[in-house]
A and B are shown apart, each in its own frame.
Chain A
Amino acid sequence: MLRKPGSLSAVAAFVAALAAPAAHADWALNMPRGVTTMSQQIYSLHMTIFWWCVAIAVFVFGWMITSLVKFRHSQGAVPDTQMLHSTKAEVIWTIIPVVILVILAIPAARTLIHLEDASGTQLTVKITGYQWKWQYEYLDKGVSYFSTLSRDSDAARQLQSGVDPKTIPDYLLSVDNPLVVPVGTKIRLLLTSQDVIHAWWVPDLAVKKDAIPGFVNEAWFEVQADKPGTYRGQCAELCGRDHGFMPIVVVAKTPAEFEAWLKTQQQASLPAAPNAG
């Protein structure tokens, strides 16, 4: 029992020494709270169930550890061989877990029902997954473009590229054309795919939904009005060779900035239209 903490801290010290020069050193332990109305709820649901688990663990592990310490053969413990079962105990440890589960299920179901309610959205973006990039299409706005891994990340991620990933800003999490959305607006995503199944995941938005060829999935999010910024994620469903290299970047702007951005996009795509046609 004594060996364990010693060796763990030795390993931790060793690793800390190795990682010390890295400015990014993130020993992150927990889920981000996120920036949408739903992400906060999901985070608190996650923490609620986590603390319940901790409480149960304290009880169960405490009980086990007490036995391990108190009832040792080497200390001359005499076993109580008549202790075969107890209906009372068995009823108690069936009922109490059921009660805890009901306590957990209620907020979980409430959040889920809220999450599945995609009514009242103000902007719809169609997202199409490809091996290995994303296409964003602002429905009824005439804006559509592809989003792929940025060039510096792509160069650095080649096998034995010799480029230190730490020198690349947002290595593997930056793209050429991010998805741009307005804050404080309920945005509907329609997800599909052109080839295999992908999954669109941005932890800060608490959205993860599969993009399935031949089917359209729906999800929504609303970035809080005071949280403009850049939020990053990745494809979450194995989709082949470059599954690890099709990141997602969402830039949330104020509605005014978003409108301005949308206008420039629309103008940029207009002259191209005849050629494309």
Chain B
Amino acid sequence: MANSGHAAHEGHDDHHGAPKSFWQRWVVTTNHKDIGTLYLIFAGVMFFVGGLMALVIRAELFQPGLQFVDPMFFNSMTTMHALAMIFGAVMPAWVGLANWMIPLQVGAPDMALPRMNNFSFWIMPFAFTLLLSTLFTGSGAPAGGWTLYPPLSLQGGDSFPMAIFAIHMMGASSIMGAINVIVTIMNMRAPGMTLLRMPLFCWTWLITAYLLILVMPVLAGAVTMLLTDHFFGTSFFSAAGGGDPVMYQHIFWFFGHPEVYILILPAFGVVSEIIPAFSRKPLFGYESMVYASASIGFLSFIVWAHHMFTVGMPLAGQLFFMLTTMLIAVPTGVKVFNWSATMWKGSLSFEPPMLFAVAFLFLFTIGGFSGLMLSIVPADFQYQDSYFVVAHFHYVLVPGAIFAIMAGIYYWLPKWSGHMYNMSLAKWHFWLSTIFVNVLFFPQHFLGLAGMPRRIPDYSVQFADWNMVSSIGAFGFGLSQLLMPYLVWQCVRGGAAAKAKAWEGARGLEWEVPSPAPYHTWETAPDEATIIHASPTGH
């Protein structure tokens, strides 16, 4: 039903192609593939915008003393870097991949709500134009940290309401995207595509979508209370009026912790498809992977206060949040063991998607270890708000979430473009990224343990050495990323033709349609034999 409206023009005997006019194809489009492409391009642009901000930070931190920027602008950079990377790069990249792949993987002709899909994408450029334009207001961009803790965030000037409206818009877009994913997976699966025959990317995205719907309104509520505190004389977060600034932190992290799983759960899905494909062996423990993902989703709602152990909580509260946080190691461990068991007795080859997935496995696990260390409250008192935390969350987000996004792009690019890409260039991209990401973030563990707080523009000379190493890594990593857009551009323009099944060991319905995927796919649902043949477990 959903896409029969615009399918009425032209003949039905062949796959109807994409609309010719730019406006029709890229602006008012309701096609899940084009919207997916738009999301991915947007995410790529924001990745470089956020990356540029990171390089401003690392340039200033290259040596002690203030060389380039005012401390206030430095604070704006840390704040905007986080907002651009989380809401502008990683989340839209996942929504883009979901748009492209979920209908193909569940045998649906499109997303369930195509017009809303278009709307949820087009909110994003406006939201980020609003957010980035705060850089040009008299008082500068928001500088109170991406967490917008009051009372500090309330000291912001014109940028403060602008940032909050931008966050509202991003939240609305995310909620619409999440509704679309849930409705598509729940209602649009081809007959015979049972839930336990779905690829893990669909499963982890389904859980992610529920998390999004549950927590985005909480964020919206928290920032709206900031707004009324600032402009309408309420005092939700001001002790002088009977409020409590720590309450904001509780509300924020009730959103914020599920948010970090929103960023990483789809990564688990992508890696769970790539590792079996290049091990030429089905995923080990498919069902336990599904249950582990669901447990992680559930646990994400009862651990939030581990972000704020130093605010002074009752002992019982600290013990509760320490124990629940430690518990997350169990389902996460199950996942890592299942991936390891998938490679065991496989037949492994190391094409670019597999390289990124293997790096994910090692480096995300390192981020998991530092996460476990951070859960131990007495030790956390030493780690909290130090560079150790910075190292921890960058390990799970950069060689974690972002490497998984890159793995997914290298995995599905032949399906999208119909061409194979330059393998040796992609391998250069991989090796440079992997080396530099460690040069960049590993020394930050040492800095944090030695006592360097995060979000400072200048530091004592005892921290100079590792900061210099870290900055060299940052510039190396940043420059290496320029290879990827060049490679994608090259691949879209031409190259060796990709087979329908671009990778020998790949499984999933997306490999049952030609490469490039026709503009409209699965207008006739796949039959059950095809579904079973393509399912992760083969039955």
Q: Mark A108-126, 1 if CB is under 8 A from B, else 0.
A: 1101110110000000000
Residues A71 and B451 in contact, CB atoms below 8 Å apart: no
Residues B369 and A31 in contact, CB atoms below 8 Å apart: no
Q: Decide: A208 near B310, CB < 8 A? Known: A90-B334, A241-B71.
A: yes
What chain A residues lie within 8 Å of B67 (beta carbons)?
159-160
Chain A residue, CB-CB nearest to B384: A208
Residues B345 and A79 in contact, CB atoms below 8 Å apart: yes
A73 CB, nearest partner CB in chain B, Å = 4
Q: Mark A42-68, 1 if CB is under 8 A from B, else 0.
A: 100110011001001100110110111
What chain A residues lie within 8 Å of B497 (beta carbons)?
none
Cα distance, A61 to B369, chains bound together (Å): 12
What chain B residues lie within 8 Å of A27 (beta carbons)?
446, 465-466
Q: Decide: A112 near B377, CB < 8 A? Known: A22-B461, A85-B288, A101-B330.
A: yes
Cα distance, A75 to B516, chains bound together (Å): 32
What chain B residues lie within 8 Å of A31 (beta carbons)?
382, 449-450
B362 within 8 A of A: yes
Residues B323 and A105 in contact, CB atoms below 8 Å apart: yes
> For chain A residues 17-45, which have a beta carbon within 8 Å of chain B?
18-19, 22, 24-32, 38, 41-42, 45
B279 within 8 A of A: yes
What chain A residues lie within 8 Å of B446 (beta carbons)?
27-30
B183 CB, nearest partner CB in chain A, Å = 31
What chain A residues lie within 8 Å of B326 (beta carbons)?
101, 104-105
Interface size, chain A (Cβ < 8 Å): 110
Q: Which of B312, B344, B378 contacts A115 (CB 8 A)?
A: B378
Q: Which of B386, B434, B537 contacts A236 (CB 8 A)?
A: B386
Q: Decide: A240 near B348, CB < 8 A? Known: A32-B451, A85-B286.
A: no
Q: Which of B149, B329, B386, B460 contacts A171 (CB 8 A)?
A: B460
What chain B residues lie within 8 Å of A243 (beta carbons)?
71, 75, 455-456
What chain A residues lie within 8 Å of B157 (beta carbons)?
none
> For chain B residues 376-390, which have a beta carbon within 8 Å of chain A?
376-379, 381-382, 384-386
Q: Decide: A236 near B453, CB < 8 A? Known: A160-B67, A212-B245.
A: yes
Residues A108 and B377 in contact, CB atoms below 8 Å apart: yes
Cα distance, A116 to B336, chains bound together (Å): 35
Residues A74 and B379 in contact, CB atoms below 8 Å apart: no
Q: Mark B314-343, 1 if CB is under 8 A from A, else 0.
A: 010011001100110110011011001101
A165 CB, nearest partner CB in chain B, Å = 4
Residues B66 and A160 in contact, CB atoms below 8 Å apart: yes
What chain A residues lie within 8 Å of B336 (beta carbons)?
60
What chain A residues lie within 8 Å of B280 (beta carbons)?
73, 79, 81
Interface of B is mostly: helix
What chain B residues lie within 8 Å of A104 (beta carbons)?
326, 376
CB-based A-B contact count at 8 angstroms: 317
B468 CB, nearest partner CB in chain A, Å = 6
Residues A90 and B288 in contact, CB atoms below 8 Å apart: yes
Residues B70 and A159 in contact, CB atoms below 8 Å apart: yes
Q: Mark B356-376, 1 if CB is under 8 A from A, else 0.
A: 001001100110010011001
Which of A92-100, A140-148, A179-187, A253-261 lies at the interface with chain B?
A92-100
Cα distance, A46 to B327, chains bound together (Å): 18
A54 CB, nearest partner CB in chain B, Å = 9
A222 within 8 A of B: no
Residues B385 and A73 in contact, CB atoms below 8 Å apart: no
What chain A residues lie within 8 Å of B464 (beta carbons)?
19, 22, 24-25
What chain B residues lie within 8 Å of A7 (beta carbons)?
435
Cα distance, A161 to B66, chains bound together (Å): 8
Cα distance, A78 to B347, chains bound together (Å): 6
Residues A213 and B245 in contact, CB atoms below 8 Å apart: yes
Q: Decide: A79 near B240, CB < 8 A? Known: A72-B348, A170-B460, A173-B460.
A: no
What chain A residues lie within 8 Å of B297 (beta carbons)?
none
Residues A93 and B334 in contact, CB atoms below 8 Å apart: yes
Cα distance, A69 to B413, chains bound together (Å): 28
Residues B340 and A60 in contact, CB atoms below 8 Å apart: yes
What chain A residues lie within 8 Å of B439 (beta carbons)?
8, 11
A244 within 8 A of B: yes
Residues B348 and A172 in contact, CB atoms below 8 Å apart: no
> For chain B residues 418-450, which have a beta carbon within 8 Å of chain A?
431, 434-435, 438-439, 446, 449-450
Cα distance, A85 to B341, chains bound together (Å): 9
Q: Mark B264-306, 1 if CB is under 8 A from A, else 0.
A: 0000000000000001111011111000000000000000000
Q: Which of A14, A56, A116, A208 contacts B315 (CB 8 A)?
A: A116
What chain A residues lie within 8 Å of B399 (beta carbons)?
none
A218 within 8 A of B: yes
Q: Decide: A172 near B362, CB < 8 A? Known: A72-B349, A111-B378, A112-B315.
A: no
**Residue among B65, B286, B319, B346 with max Cβ neighbours from chain A (10 Å):** B65
A226 within 8 A of B: no
B155 within 8 A of A: yes
B462 within 8 A of A: yes
B479 within 8 A of A: no
What chain B residues lie within 8 Å of A238 (beta carbons)?
75, 144-145, 149, 152, 454-455
What chain B residues lie within 8 Å of A86 (beta carbons)?
285, 341
Residues B465 and A214 in contact, CB atoms below 8 Å apart: no
What chain A residues lie within 8 Å of B384 (beta carbons)?
199, 208, 236
What chain B residues lie within 8 Å of A159 (beta carbons)?
66-67, 69-70
Cα distance, A84 to B71, chains bound together (Å): 55
Q: Which of A14, A61, A105 contacts B362 (CB 8 A)?
A: A61
What chain B residues lie within 8 Å of A30 (beta carbons)?
446, 449-450
Residues B65 and A67 in contact, CB atoms below 8 Å apart: no
Q: Which of B310, B381, B462 contacts A24 (CB 8 A)?
A: B462
Chain A residue, CB-CB nearest to B288: A90
Residues B469 and A11 in contact, CB atoms below 8 Å apart: yes
Cα distance, A18 to B465, chains bound together (Å): 9
Q: Decide: A49 near B379, CB < 8 A? Known: A81-B282, A209-B312.
A: yes
Q: Can you list 19 A-B pairs, Cβ within 8 angstroms, ordered by A?
A: A19-B464, A29-B449, A30-B446, A68-B343, A71-B346, A72-B348, A73-B280, A93-B337, A112-B318, A164-B65, A203-B451, A206-B381, A207-B381, A208-B385, A209-B310, A212-B312, A237-B385, A238-B149, A243-B455
Give the A-binding residues of B (Cβ under 8 A).
64-67, 69-72, 75, 143-145, 149, 151-152, 155, 238-240, 244-246, 279-282, 284-288, 310-312, 315, 318-319, 322-323, 326-327, 329-330, 333-334, 336-337, 340-341, 343-349, 358, 361-362, 365-366, 369, 372-373, 376-379, 381-382, 384-386, 431, 434-435, 438-439, 446, 449-451, 453-466, 468-469, 472-473, 537
